[in-house]
Amino acid sequence: MSADPVSADPVSAAPVIVAPVIVAARRTPIATRGRGLAGVTVDRLAAPVLRALLRDGMDAMPAAHASTPIADVVLGNCMGPGGNPARVAALLAGLGQEVPGATVDRQCGSGLAAIVDAATAIRAGDERARIAGGVESASTAPVRSIDGVPYDRAPFAPTGFPDPGMTEAAEHLAAADGISRERQDAYAMRSRRLAAAAAARGRFDAELVDLEGVALDELVGASAADERAMARFRPLFDGGTLTGGNSCRVSDGAAGVLVVPGGASIAAGVPGLALRAHAIVGCDPALPGVGAAPAILEALARAGRGIADVTAFEIVEAFAAQTIAVLERIGIADDDERVCGDGGALAIGHPWGASGAVAVVRLFSRLVRSGAPTGTIGVAAASVGGGMGVAAVFEVVR
């Protein structure tokens, strides 16, 4: 395995800091809200993933695992019951009462932000392994209210700022960018066909953790991949272009990774994804769907890389229109084979707080499990409600 020191000063003999490395990545199957995983709470969704990551880590790095216990569990979550689901899931998973937990809410970027937070703690000098990721049970999310009046979501922005819901914002973005329904449908069908082909080849098998009798992603291979079925979806807004076919399904699921110090993975000879750079940015809250674009460009600049250097992109596909708008802004065609090469959230589903972590799990499978060589670059990114974007640049190390 090779390693790229992040910083070294030979004059002052400052310590060399080695990038944190993801050495294991797992997720649950993803199911549409109210269906296959409808009765599974966030802690019960996340716990099997945590246990699987712990087993994978022990198998890959037995000596390192014995001497470096899990320092923390950091999970993204948007609409759960509160009470720090990461800590509850860690206890349920049997990690031990001494392992703490922290829950991150950066909306649809929560799972990726949690992974960045865990890696940053290691980079800062706490050289203990961490489990990070995200979880969402839209099916069991509590009803929230103010003075007894229920509401669907908390504000993404204060009074005086635009505060559209993500679906409304995606419709506005499609109109502003002139993205036709036909183009959106074509992108959504591409995602579904890629996912169906990937599932048939067993591309998801190694990353999946069976849960409550559900072993496969619920939507993969659904009839919406058929062009005639896609055309039958009605617009979500009068005169609009967004439909149920070119928008994601709100879903339940969990995903996570095991992050270790780069030195430990090098010593063990374990391949993984080294976090080279990340960016979290703000953008116009009226058009939050484009947030991933400036985040990707900034993260790549911090890593000293460009779009052409990237072998695999995993961008959370909340809506076809939103994903196309992001791709246009970073100079990538709709059908670029590097983007969500096994399908994305349009095909698999979008468990809000978990989706950013699902993107990293998918990168791990596409690059590390597939045998991509050392130095291969991957990017995970998500646009976030309220006008934000989060992105991370990873490099294969072996």
Using alpha carbons, list the distances in angstroms from residue 241 to 174, 246, 323, 376.
7, 9, 14, 37
Domain count, the chain: 1
* Average pLDDT of the residues in 42-56: 97
Query: How would residue 276 be classed by pLDDT, with cut points 50, 70 and 90?
Result: very high
Q: Is residue 95 in a domain?
A: yes
Q: Is residue 174 in a domain?
A: no
Q: Is the pLDDT assigned to residue 223 strictly greater than 60?
A: no
CATH classification at residue 318 = 3.40.47.10
Q: How far apart (Å, rounded) are the C-alpha atoms in residues 27 and 358? A: 7
Q: Is residue 295 in a domain?
A: yes
* Average pLDDT of the residues in 254-262: 96
Q: How far apart (Å, rounded) are the C-alpha atoms in residues 313 and 61? A: 28
Largest Cα span, the chain: 67
106-139 burial code (b ≥16 CB/10 A, e <16): bbbbbbbbbbbbbbebbbeeebbbbbbbbbbbbb
Would the pTM count as exceeding 0.75? yes
More confident residue, 104 or 143: 104
Pairing of strands 130-137, 72-76: parallel
Beta strands in 185-288 (DSSP E): 251-260, 272-282
Question: Of 54-63, 215-224, 354-363, which one has max mean pLDDT?
Answer: 354-363
Query: How would residue 266 be classed by pLDDT, with cut points 50, 70 and 90?
Result: confident
Q: Is the pLDDT assigned to residue 287 strictly greater than 70?
A: yes
By annotation, the residues acting in catalysis are: 108, 350
Structural tokens at position 392: 């991370």
Q: Is residue 93 in a domain?
A: yes
Q: Is the pLDDT assigned to residue 150 strictly greater than 80?
A: yes
Least confidently predicted of 3-12, 162-171, 231-240 = 3-12
Whether the CB-CB separation of 83 and 47 falls below 8 Å is answered with: no
378: phi then psi, degrees, rounded to nearest 5? -130, 150
Query: How would residue 6 be classed by pLDDT, with cut points 50, 70 and 90?
Result: very low
Q: Is residue 194 in a domain?
A: no
The mean pLDDT of the chain is 92
Supply the pLDDT for residue 68.
Answer: 65
Q: Is residue 31 in a domain?
A: yes
Q: How far apart (Å, rounded) are the C-alpha atoms in residues 215 and 210? A: 5
Q: How far apart (Å, rounded) are the C-alpha atoms in residues 145 and 269? A: 52
Supply the pLDDT for residue 58.
Answer: 86
Q: How far apart (Å, rounded) are the C-alpha atoms in residues 116 and 113? A: 5
Residue 126 structural domain: 18-141+246-397
Q: Is the pLDDT assigned to residue 308 strictly greater than 70?
A: yes
Residue type, 85: P
> How many whole angstroms from its chain centre is CA 194?
18
213: phi then psi, degrees, rounded to nearest 5? 80, 0
Model confidence pLDDT, tens digit, residues 91-141: 999 999 999 999 999 999 999 999 999 999 999 999 899 999 999 999 999
